[in-house]
Chain A
Amino acid sequence: MSSRGKIPHWADVTLVPLFSVALAFALSAVLIWAIGESPWQAVKLMVEGAFGSSYGWGYTLFYATNFIFTGLAVSVAFQARLFNIGGEGQALLGGLGVALICLYIPWPHWSVALIAASLGAALFGAAWAIIPGYLQAKRGSHIVITTIMFNFIAASLLGYILVNVLRVPGSQDPASPRFPSEVALPKLHEMLALVGIPFSTVPPVNIALLIAIGMCFMVWYMLWRTRLGYQIRAFGESEPAAQYAGISPARITIYVMLISGGLAGLMAVNAVMGEQQRLVMNAVEGAGFIGIAVALMGRNHPFGVFLAAILFGFLYQGGAELALWMSIPRELIVVIQALVILFTGALDNMVRMPIARVFARRKRAG
């Protein structure tokens, strides 16, 4: 991020992403128009479907919760310039942790189970991330390669466990049994009912949303208010300088991967414990990879990650409504999501440079 051009910070975190998203939507509109559908109606459906009712909000926030966890996971690692693209596998293992804790320990109440399951999810996710972390720190195996390979190992491992160990006998669905009803997490509508706000009972958004928001604060505090956070950021800015200052690269690498893997694993609390109430083969379904886009768009800052996660939650839920009520093929919805990722992530400079030029001209004029 050193080639950032001369843009004020506020413009960097607001103008650039906004322009990028606007461009992505403009191009999407052209595509929708090209297949003979009305872009205006599509946008209306998406916005109304995602934000027009508490039902829509519920699903948007449910998806956003997943993306907050995986986005934070990528962000923390990226602060140390480590590119953890293994969120997918770490979240899968987190799901295994949640399932084992919910299935094999009789919990009297969901609150205790939630604490244990969160710890289990984070522990399993962290354990899965520490191996690539160790290989990077001590053996110099590149983390990008090892984490992405660990995604496949995680999928194979989970497939084996689901088919041979956890599967309900006689069922052909490679999935764990349903968790006991005591560990069902309270849904958002139940929590809002306590303060008298009516909310749709259908969407799976649950208390994990609050954990996700809490994690945003904790990650912010950890990165900018603690010694470890300072070391992580110093290490990310310049490894030789950090080493010169007495920061051990191996130690930071392993710590960062532990935190990152733990955050990715926590996603399972929302998806596995909050929604499905059982462990299925693709419980993560790409949220680990979406997390990379969320982190890129959120500029690796927890607040940015939160906003970007809401945007991607909107794309998921709005896209679902689009698929339901318009004859727009599922593939085109993926294209729209991909355009947003492309413009906010990969084509960042395309938007940044004209904006920097505008600011430079204004500076010269003023």
Chain B
Amino acid sequence: MTALKPLALTASVLALTAGIAQADAPALMFDMGGKFDKSFNEAAYNGAERWRESTGGTYREIEISAEAQRVQFARRLAEAGSDPIVVLGFANEPTLVEVAPDYPDTAFVLIDAVVDLPNVRSVIFAEQEGSYLVGMLAAMATETNTISFVGGMEIPLITAFACGYAQGAKAVNPDINVIVNYTGSTPAAWNDPVRGGEIAQAQFSQGSDIVFAAAGGTGLGVLQAAEDAGLKSIGVDSNQNHLHPGSVLTSMLKLVDQAVYDAFTDGPDMETGVVVMDLAAGGVGYAVDEHNEHLISAEMIDAVEAARAAIIAGELSVHDYRTDSTCPAF
């Protein structure tokens, strides 16, 4: 039973946080990847937890495990009186198109896609802008003039990361070689660290010395492979600098936690409509902390900050792959 003790403890903590949420408390619906994916969903969970700790409120949470449950759970949460209901992932766009009109007095928040309904707030991120900045850092830090990218599945969202990354790198050095690979073609590609490590090693053998992973849990294997090879990596979504201090060059931040925290804080009477979390809004960025500050020189910071200011001012525009399915940097 000793092995079960931490499990039981976790469960009772969860019971405190989730089990006894009252009606009209906020709710969070995770996407298929699951709550503890060390990435997108976990970031949302952290945002919700931060809200709980700072306000002492309670919230309801649910993980889906089947496509049919998207609509089912969104409805059940609305009927149970949860408000607002934060729904994660672009795959839930049709879910809210179907469910939200039936509960006009409930506020819904969709993260990563846009639904144009009066009671829906749509939060989208400018991943290409954050990826552009880390692409610049990679291009300035490489010693082999070759950098690489490991994506999860080849879907437009992830290609937008790759495209922004390549644009940033080529802005620094037009002759740089950017290798782009994807992990797989099934959702398992988001949680396959072994495969991620193998792909990273293959890229290293092609001369890459910095790899950017945008692949959920798979990225952990990529970061590990970089450390094992004595090379550098770039984390994604959350600040992953601490995972391998000295090896993780930086992390491309996508502040999903902030979006969830804001939604919970704004409560049922929130402003709806489209919220763009870009560089200007502080929704994306790159991470510098005590784990990587010795890897990034002042000149590098200056160059990236100049680009950031230019993007925010609208003088420099980073192409978003999702608008026309092409990438000028590939």
Contact = CB atoms under 8 A, between A and B. Distances in A.
Given A34-B1, A327-B18, A159 B8 contact: no
Contact of A159 (B65, B90, B93, B186): B186
A172 interface: yes
Interface in A311-342: 316, 319-320, 323-324, 326-330, 333-334
Interface stretch (B68-76, B205-213, B237-245, B280-288): B68-76
B185 A327 contact: no
Interface in B182-209: 185-187
A35 B155 contact: no
A330 B65 contact: yes
Interface stretch (B9-17, B128-136, B141-149, B301-309): B9-17
A278 B94 contact: yes
Binding site of B, secondary structure by majority: helix, strand, loop or mixed?
A: helix
Interface in A206-258: none
B8 A34 contact: yes
Contacts, number: 108
A334 B18 contact: no
Interface residues of A, number: 47
B187 A334 contact: no
A329 to B, nearest CB: 7
Interface in A154-182: 155-156, 158-160, 163, 167, 169-175, 178
A3 B33 CA distance: 42
Contacts of B19: 326-327
A155 B187 CA distance: 9
B176 interface: no
A35 B322 contact: no
A281 B91 CA distance: 10
A149 B65 CA distance: 24
Given A156-B185, A173-B93, A326-B19, A36 B11 contact: yes
A169 B322 CA distance: 9
Interface in B51-96: 62-63, 65-69, 71-73, 75-76, 90-91, 93-94
Contact of B186 (A152, A169, A320): A152
Contacts of B67: 271, 275-276, 280, 282-283, 285
A202 B4 contact: no
A204 interface: yes
A14 B160 CA distance: 55
Nearest to B13: A327
Interface string B269-285: 00000000000000000
A67 interface: no
B155 A320 contact: no
A320 B69 contact: yes
Given A34-B1, A159-B154, A173-B113, A333 B7 contact: no
Contacts of B323: 170
B63 A323 contact: yes
A175 B67 CA distance: 12
A280 B154 CA distance: 15
B186 A172 contact: no
A333 B64 CA distance: 12
B34 interface: yes
B73 A320 contact: yes
Interface of B: 1, 4, 7-8, 11-12, 14-15, 18-19, 32, 34-35, 62-63, 65-69, 71-73, 75-76, 90-91, 93-94, 112-113, 153-157, 160, 185-187, 322-323, 325
29 contacts: A34-B4, A35-B8, A36-B8, A36-B12, A36-B15, A37-B15, A152-B185, A156-B185, A158-B185, A169-B325, A170-B322, A171-B93, A172-B90, A172-B113, A172-B155, A172-B160, A174-B153, A204-B68, A204-B71, A280-B67, A316-B66, A323-B62, A324-B76, A327-B11, A327-B15, A329-B11, A329-B14, A330-B34, A334-B65
Interface of A: 34-37, 59, 62-63, 152, 155-156, 158-160, 163, 167, 169-175, 178, 202-204, 271, 275-276, 278, 280-283, 285, 316, 319-320, 323-324, 326-330, 333-334
